[in-house]
Amino acid sequence: MISITIVETIDEEACDYVRCPQCRSKIGWKPKNTKVRVYPLPQAAAIKPEQMGFTCKRCKGCFLIATV
């Protein structure tokens, strides 16, 4: 099940960021002490708006972030 939450401000004491597995830049945020997995997506999936993925601004890689 996918849970989407709108975040207006990020409390950096309660949140941690997720790094891109290719270039190690920040691609998203997660609550602290939560384990996530980052799955690569094909480049064609980034074009489709119905796909829920993250694109790295630095290396342009497409990823899906899921909690473990």
Q: Each residue of 8-58: pLDDT tens digit?
A: 776 777 888 899 999 999 998 888 888 999 999 886 665 655 556 788 999
In this structure, is residue 55 part of a structural domain? Answer: yes
What is the 3-class SS of 14-44, one letter each residue? CEEEEECCCCCCEEEEEECCCCEEEEECCHH
30 within some domain = yes
CB atoms within 10 A of CB 62: 19
Pairing state of beta strands 54-55 and 26-31?
A: unpaired
28 in a structural domain: yes
Does 20 reside within a domain?
yes
Structural domain boundaries enclosing 32: 15-67
Residue 1 is predicted with a pLDDT of 65
Number of domains in the chain: 1
